[in-house]
Chain A
Amino acid sequence: MANVYSTICPGCNFGCGLYIRENGNLDVDFRKSSPANSGKLCRFGMSLPRLYTPVRSMVDGKEVELTEAAKDAAKRISASKGSVAFLSFGNTTCEEHLAFGKLGEAYLCTGADFEALPKDTYQTISVGIPYSEIEAAKHIVLFIDPYEQYPLIVRRILSAKKKGAKITSVWWKDLPLADENLRPADVSKLKLSGDSLVIADFHPLSDMENVKNVLSLAKNAGARITFLKPFANSTGAYILSKDAKQKSLVQLVEDINKGAIKTLFCLESDPGEMIPAETLGKLTTLIVQTGMASAITKKAHVVIAHEPLYKKKGTLINNEGRAQSLGGEGTRGLDALGVMAGVKFEFGVLNESVKKTIGINSIDEFTIPKYDRPGYAAPQASVKPVDAKTALVSVFNPFMWFGLPDDNDFVEMNLNTARALKLLKSGTLKIRSNGSAIEKRFKIGPVQENVLLTGRKFGIEKGMLTPVEISR
């Protein structure tokens, strides 16, 4: 009666399996045999029915058929030849990503700033370490807040801890699971060894100097390192486009700002959360191909609406490099990309090519393919100390990447800081930066003094760490 799809959560690259049950509305159901998560889901996974809001194909606000929208997009793309950029963070299948790569060859952006990194680190950045290896580690070092950012890693870390692992966290806030809590400014006190496993993350807004720094820390100590990532198929997208010439997000913003890029095509990617609104406003044409409605589909000149991810057919590669098949049948995304590229993309052909790239004959979610883990030379990093007295730190999480509202309209701060400002219980805090001011509620937590943590975009941020002034 009701349709049930076996699918993967698009919230991050963890690769959590679940079922989506269509019965008038959408329900999430637990897929307990799923290898990455044993059926468990985080707050975002539990919110998927809210994320998957239906979207219609549109041209200039008028509803059209998918093919018509794709044809219109194709026209606009060729008219704007030389000034079109193609953006896909990795929120879609490997097969679509391959097709996208062919369409967007001229100016391809996955949001990742590989340009800023030495080539020998690409593989380490792209493919993470199996979770079972994390569970077996003796010393785990966290450069993330696992609870807020990648919640399903928490139980793996706890499992390691149960087996005797020591957990060190380098973060702005004490984490309940850590045995040792260091503040980022004290990273020099961090003791790593060959037994250590470093967990950091990598995403379009990563500070590349920090990324280089953790890479060298790990390298110099002979420690293993794994980078968690925010998009369902980040790993797939990075592996599949490793030979493609890629532009970074920063470069894209610059090119739009200076008028070199006038048309932006986004595949299952919401640049609204990452590219400043005034930059997006400079585009003459915004084309969005997606399976769900969001703030960006309202702004787009052309919306190409294919099926939502859970109805798609295709492969996703999770952070461990595990290839998993989605349980849907839909290939309308490929059809639309074909219309724009002027070729017919066959799912089977692309699927073969995906398997070939990762060196497997068939997709078995229970077996992680073997990946090269090449060594790399410790990159030179110049991490700037924060010079501001007070900083607002953005704790990027799935809700933020997808612009999905969550119950987190507050900042978390230290009790002493709150007392020094004579903040009132249940009152608010004024935060000023870049000439704009906001007023927010606050939550007291074991946070570094003079640091405000937020899991939500307030609109005054400049990257991950924004110097601010605060008052009552």
Chain B
Amino acid sequence: MQKGDMFVGWSTKEDIRKRGGSGGLVTSVLAAALDKKLVDAVVVLRKINEFEAVPVITSDVNEVLKSAGSLHSVPSNFAKIIANKNLKVALPAKGCDTRGIIEQSKRNAVSLDNTFIIGLNCGGSMHPSVTREMLEIMYKIKPEDVHGEEIEKGKLIFETKDGKEHAITIDELEEKGYGRRESCRYCMIKIPTNADLACGNWGVVGDLAGKATFVEVNSEKGAKLLQNAIDAGYVQVEKPDEKGVAARAKIKGAMEGLGKKWKDKVFVPMDNRLEYFRKELEHCIDCGACKTVCPTCSCGDVSKCTEYHLRGDAYKMSMYHLIRFLHLADSCIGCGQCSDVCPVDIPLTRLYRRFANPMQEQLKYEPGMDLRKPPYFEAKLEV
């Protein structure tokens, strides 16, 4: 097995295969890594209900097995959970988790040698509060009655406990302000080629659809991880169908096209930008959550953005935000965490991306996608 190989695979444990997002392969790879001592711990989501789960670091194989399944309304990011822990760890990771982990490694808070990243394809995640409201208002169903959910042919389908399916197109939902988080709509990393493995249901066709996971091996570490799971009898794989490989590439292309459209829609050119930024930021209460949650920052409590900002300053714009706009211009991965946690609902990701989009384009730098040093830390400007 080597870098570039593609497979479709599934868990050999029937129960995991059934509960898994698309075959339970990810869960089984994680369990096998733990079981065979490839790692000391894994990160998984401890599920509370369809709309709530909490990331935990665990060495308990049972906890891992329990975590099978995709939760689309749990927009977490695992990068900071493993930062500064010095753990030999494996974890599932969407594009933004992976990018966050790689950025943490550039800041010496994570050692990639000791981190096995099982990438998850990601078409987007939803904020749980928004999902609940959407269910009540758009679908007219009680969130508690939801049993499962899937995305098919551009529709978001909820299955209720009575076995009924309820479908609405994602376009319509997003038109009304529901659906995926805004940052996910214009995120361009649909298949995490930056992770050790990239897993998803795209490309699983025929009889296996819904019952297997498509895996692409992106690195030697990825090969080791998957081989370990096969050798340990946790997963079974076969060569993917040609048609599946093509379908996967096609959906990826279509999703990226949609992402580009959203990007153009959200980031329209603007006059009076200073006024715009000041208006957006005038409600800021200095809670610091946007910094704490940011998966690319690794300063800890003592950071430039906080140390040079005083609540007693009566500046037209706070030093905190100015420094963050600058520091994130090359490093923001557009994960949406800052917007999610802002107590006064400032659309922060949109603000940060206003600075990051042109800068990252000019510098030809995509944070979290490879090991290139952030341009700000270079000794000489390359581009």
Contact = CB atoms under 8 A, between A and B. Distances in A.
Interface of A: 1-2, 4, 6, 19, 28-33, 35, 37-43, 45-46, 147-148, 151-152, 154-155, 158-159, 176-177, 366, 406-410, 441-445
Contacts of B287: 41-43, 45-46, 151
Contact of A155 (B75, B143, B340, B343): B343
5 contacts: A1-B56, A39-B129, A46-B288, A151-B343, A159-B345
Given A154-B283, A443-B311, 18 more contacts: A1-B56, A1-B57, A4-B46, A6-B54, A28-B292, A32-B127, A32-B341, A33-B51, A41-B341, A46-B288, A151-B343, A154-B285, A154-B344, A155-B344, A155-B345, A158-B283, A406-B311, A407-B311
Interface size class of B (residues with CB under 8 A): 35 or more
B341 A40 contact: yes
B59 interface: yes
Given A147-B285, A151-B287, A155-B344, A32 B57 contact: no
Nearest to B288: A46
B289 interface: yes
Interface string B286-302: 11110011000000000
A393 to B, nearest CB: 17
B52 interface: yes
B281 to A, nearest CB: 10
Contacts of A408: 311-312
Given A41-B289, A42-B285, A33 B52 contact: yes
B210 interface: no
A30 B340 contact: yes
Contacts of A147: 283, 285
A203 to B, nearest CB: 20
A42 B56 contact: no
A146 to B, nearest CB: 9
A278 B162 CA distance: 66
A43 B340 contact: no
Nearest to B127: A32
A158 B283 CA distance: 10
A203 B49 CA distance: 36
Given A1-B41, A407-B310, A410-B312, A30 B293 contact: yes
Given A33-B128, A42-B285, A43-B286, A444 B57 contact: no
Given A42-B343, A151-B287, A158-B345, A1 B314 contact: no
B138 to A, nearest CB: 17
The 3 closest A-B pairs by CB, nearest first: A33-B128, A33-B52, A38-B129
Q: Could you say which of A32, A152, A155, A406 has the most chain B C-beta atoms within 10 Å of its C-beta?
A: A32
A19 B129 contact: no
Nearest to B340: A32
Contacts of B41: 1
A39 B339 CA distance: 11
Given A32-B340, A40-B342, A42-B287, A441 B56 contact: no
A18 to B, nearest CB: 10
Contacts of A442: 312
B313 interface: yes
Contacts of B285: 42-43, 147-148, 151, 154
B357 interface: no
A40 B283 contact: no
B174 interface: no
Interface string B54-97: 11111100000000000001110000000000000000000000
B129 A32 contact: yes
Contact of B341 (A2, A39, A176, A407): A39
A37 B49 CA distance: 18
B5 interface: no
B145 interface: no
Contacts of B59: 1
Q: Could you say which of B48, B56, B57, B344 has the most chain A C-beta atoms within 10 Å of its C-beta?
A: B344
Contacts of A32: 52, 74-75, 127-129, 340-341
Contact of B344 (A30, A158, A366): A158
B120 to A, nearest CB: 19
Given A4-B56, A407-B310, A33 B283 contact: no
Interface in B277-335: 282-283, 285-289, 292-293, 310-314
A363 B310 CA distance: 42
Contacts of B314: 443-445
A37 B343 contact: yes
A1 B54 contact: no
Contacts of B310: 407
B56 A31 contact: no
Interface in B131-184: 132, 143-144
A436 B49 CA distance: 57
Contacts of B289: 30, 40-41, 46
Contacts of B48: 6, 33
A1 B343 contact: no
A42 B285 CA distance: 7
Contacts of A19: 54
A60 B16 CA distance: 58
